[in-house]
Structure 1
Amino acid sequence: MKRLDQVLNAENIPAELELVVNDVIVACKDIAFKLRQGDLAGILGATEDENVQGETQKKLDVISNDLLKDVLVSNPFVRGVGSEEEDYTIAANADGKYLVTFDPLDGSSNIDVNLSVGTIFSILEAQDNTPGDNQEVFLQNGRKQVAAGYVLYGPSALLVMTTGNGVNIFTLDTTVGEFVLTKSGIQIPEDTAEFAINMSNQRFWEPEMKQYIDDCLQGEEGPLGKRYNMRWVASMVAEVHRILMRGGIFMYPYDNRDPSKAGKLRLMYEGNPMSMIVEQAGGASSTGRMDIMDVQPEGIHDRVPVVLGSKNEVAKVVAYHNK
């Protein structure tokens, strides 16, 4: 089986980019190890602090963020780093070519109940000489990504990644400490009868999303003409991984609880990297009204509504909004 470095070499990506990816993966291996230790390592539970998003930080949120941040700011090819857990972007090396954004531990509310969590990352090229602690250099749309991926910490640790040449899945071989290729050329089925959404927020949704879900719930007798199953894990990594494996649609739509926020999920380190992966696997991603990767960010922590997964089902949701 091919190792991660062998696959990256075969894709002819620049050596500097490969070294940046390798450093991300080094940190993810450490996170995977600490997760396996669980309470034995004293990593469970929450801190007394909140992040810039106003969310209470879990202990492992902080640990994961520090692991990724420390290894990346030391990489000579990284200009700057942006994290969900940091108020501002962080300068790394002035001559660095790449910018890395990440959600160090997506779904961290699941840690204490031993459910799947993950790390999401996105890599961009720095377009000018702006230093990495100036967020302006990061504000590129998702089409500019040169690589995106996530590590799912489940029964096995899986790396799912694209450099624009399709989607590969690697499994962490704990006997040698390396990610090895186990699936390639992943394709999401175009049709599905499975959706994932947090139904407890239904009363806050826009009418178009309410109508789509109502029609799904009517099953064969409804206008969509088929019976749907619903799933919800509260971890975007886990939800997207299920879609990659068997199809489906994941939605975290706009709601009116806080009209100042366009959505719940962050564009730069959740929406964009997951959209690149899904599109490279033949799926689609949208805000409900436009492709997520075409959204021009105005700030590193911008939020966006998310609808992604099987292409034909995403098109249905977009059609409801276009009405």
Structure 2
Amino acid sequence: MMKVLLAALVSGACALIAPSMMGARRVAPVARSTTEETEGPATDDAAYGASHTSFYTTAEKQESYDALEYILKEKCKDEKLSTVVNEMLDAVARITEALRTALVTVEGSANTFGDVQLTVDVIADEIMWETCRNSAVVLEGASEEEPEIKECNPDGQFVVCWDPLDGSSIVDNNWAVGTIVGIWDKATGLIGATGRDQVTSIVALYGPRTTVLVALDDGVYEFTYGAEGQEADWICSRARVKISPDCKIFAPANMRAAQDLPGYKELLDHYMENRYTLRYSGGLVPDVYQQFTKQQGVFSNPTSPASPAKLRLAFEAAPFGNLVEKAGGLTSDGVSGGSVLDVVINAVDQRTALCIGSTNEVERFNEMICMIE
């Protein structure tokens, strides 16, 4: 069965690439009429037959799209928070432009974890640090490349943690990678806080287009950078995105752990035997981000003694967890079965197991891996 899974992994990756090669549609000038995405995918099992294993967007072309500034004015009542969101998206725009021209080469250095740093890692990290140090509202910053909290502005309000370019092992293949940002208020700080204390989180996906998910007052919004024909740099491409409780898409990380965890092997077999669609690239950002575009999905990354947890709680799991739960999904810490947002952050570089996505599938993971009845 594991050989079948690996074979499906290859074919699934190829299928993932094809839709992204379709030409972009021209859109109309910015206005104020963004459509909410509140309906999940069809749940009729007949729709998931062997001849229907691809999932396409349900977003329909609109005559106009709201600009970032308008959405923040309406959906982010905290002016300081609106400022930091604007600043983070400005940084993402700069990273986007840098990635278009930068070669992927070894920088000749390593981060705190001993990972080889690539030129693009360093560029993205420098842009994030420059943004935070020039901000009037960022009190402290911490980068996954150098997990140490550093002061940016003594009069600032927020603690910002980021993974500047998640997916360094696949960026040389020109696959989609991303930036992950978690933001805490100075009232809680980072150490001793939880992911639930975040005031917002942001995830950017760099692919054929650059899109960003942002947690705002009433849900999760997606913004697209530099859309053709738009007057604004950022337009709202999806409003109040929802993740369905059911899914037929799975992204299984850390499959080595299946050799140590019988429950994980059984779970992977369940996905294959029930003809779930495999969509896994090995990059956390694209593999979880698809849950918002497809409005369904589950990403699993359990831990075992021989295959320990690799995901960083503050830099990766907590920011994504905040977005997924605000969109109606569920998260698991992979051990107790509780939400990853309730795990106390005791160290900047703290690691965690993770399952995240459609509620019913995360609950299945808890039953089979965490033995939660």
TM-score, structure 2 normalization: 0.77
Secondary structure, in 3 states, of the residue corresponding to 1:7?
Answer: helix
Alignment partner, residue 215 of structure 1: 270
Q: 1:119 aligns with which of 167, 179, 193?
A: 179
Higher RCO (Cα < 8 Å, 6 or more apart): 2
State the 1:210 CA deviation: 2.5
**Shift in alpha-carbon separation, 1:200–1:284, aligned structure 2, 3 A:** closer
**Shift in alpha-carbon separation, 1:284–1:8, aligned structure 2, 3 A:** same
State the 1:269 CA deviation: 1.3
1:257 matched to 2:306? yes
State the 1:3 CA deviation: 1.4
Alignment partner, residue 248 of structure 2: 193
**Please, which moves more after superposition, 207-216 or 13-22?**
207-216
Alignment partner, residue 288 of structure 2: 240
1:184 matched to 2:239? yes
Q: 1:307 aligns with which of 343, 351, 355?
A: 355
For the residues of structure 2 that align with 1:255 and 1:213, how far apart are their CA atoms? 16
State the 1:139 CA deviation: 3.5
State the 1:127 CA deviation: 1.4
**Shift in alpha-carbon separation, 1:119–1:12, aligned structure 2, 3 A:** closer
Secondary structure, in 3 states, of the residue corresponding to 2:304?
Answer: coil
For the residues of structure 1 that align with 2:147 and 2:318, how far apart are their CA atoms? 19
Q: 1:80 aligns with which of 123, 140, 150?
A: 140
Alignment partner, residue 101 of structure 1: 161
Secondary structure, in 3 states, of the residue corresponding to 1:167?
Answer: strand
Q: 1:268 aligns with which of 308, 314, 337?
A: 314
1:281 matched to 2:327? yes
Alignment partner, residue 67 of structure 2: 3
What is the aligned residue count? Answer: 302
Counterpart of 2:304 in structure 1: which amino acid? D
For the residues of structure 2 that align with 1:231 and 1:21, how far apart are their CA atoms? 30
Listed one character per residue, the Cα deviations across residues 266-297 of structure 1 (whole Å, up to 9, x for unaligned) are 10011011011111111111123211000001
Percentage identity across paired residues of the two chains: 29
State the 1:174 CA deviation: 5.3
**Shift in alpha-carbon separation, 1:179–1:139, aligned structure 2, 3 A:** farther
Counterpart of 1:7 in structure 2: which amino acid? I
1:154 matched to 2:207? yes
Listed one character per residue, the Cα deviations across residues 84-125 of structure 1 (whole Å, up to 9, x for unaligned) are 001411111112111101110011222211110111101110
**Please, which moves more after superposition, 107-116 or 304-313?**
107-116
**Shift in alpha-carbon separation, 1:204–1:76, aligned structure 2, 3 A:** farther
Alignment partner, residue 63 of structure 1: 123
TM-score, structure 1 normalization: 0.88
State the 1:198 CA deviation: 3.3
1:15 matched to 2:69? no
Unaligned stretches of 5+ in structure 2?
1-64
1:49 matched to 2:95? no
**Shift in alpha-carbon separation, 1:87–1:276, aligned structure 2, 3 A:** closer
For the residues of structure 1 that align with 2:150 and 2:192, how far apart are their CA atoms? 14
**Shift in alpha-carbon separation, 1:164–1:253, aligned structure 2, 3 A:** farther
State the 1:20 CA deviation: 1.1
Alignment partner, residue 149 of structure 2: 89
State the 1:72 CA deviation: 0.6
**Shift in alpha-carbon separation, 1:174–1:188, aligned structure 2, 3 A:** closer
Is the 1:146–1:164 contact (alpha carbons within 8 Å) kept by the matching residues of 2?
Answer: no
Secondary structure, in 3 states, of the residue corresponding to 1:89?
Answer: strand
**Shift in alpha-carbon separation, 1:232–1:103, aligned structure 2, 3 A:** same
State the 1:25 CA deviation: 1.2
For the residues of structure 1 that align with 2:311 and 2:254, how far apart are their CA atoms? 16
For the residues of structure 1 that align with 2:259 and 2:150, how far apart are their CA atoms? 35
**Shift in alpha-carbon separation, 1:49–1:139, aligned structure 2, 3 A:** farther
Is the 1:51–1:87 contact (alpha carbons within 8 Å) kept by the matching residues of 2?
Answer: no
State the 1:230 CA deviation: 2.0
For the residues of structure 1 that align with 2:263 and 2:179, how far apart are their CA atoms? 31
1:163 matched to 2:163? no
**Shift in alpha-carbon separation, 1:183–1:316, aligned structure 2, 3 A:** same
Listed one character per residue, the Cα deviations across residues 20-52 of structure 1 (whole Å, up to 9, x for unaligned) are 111111111111011122xxx4x3122222111
**Shift in alpha-carbon separation, 1:199–1:268, aligned structure 2, 3 A:** closer
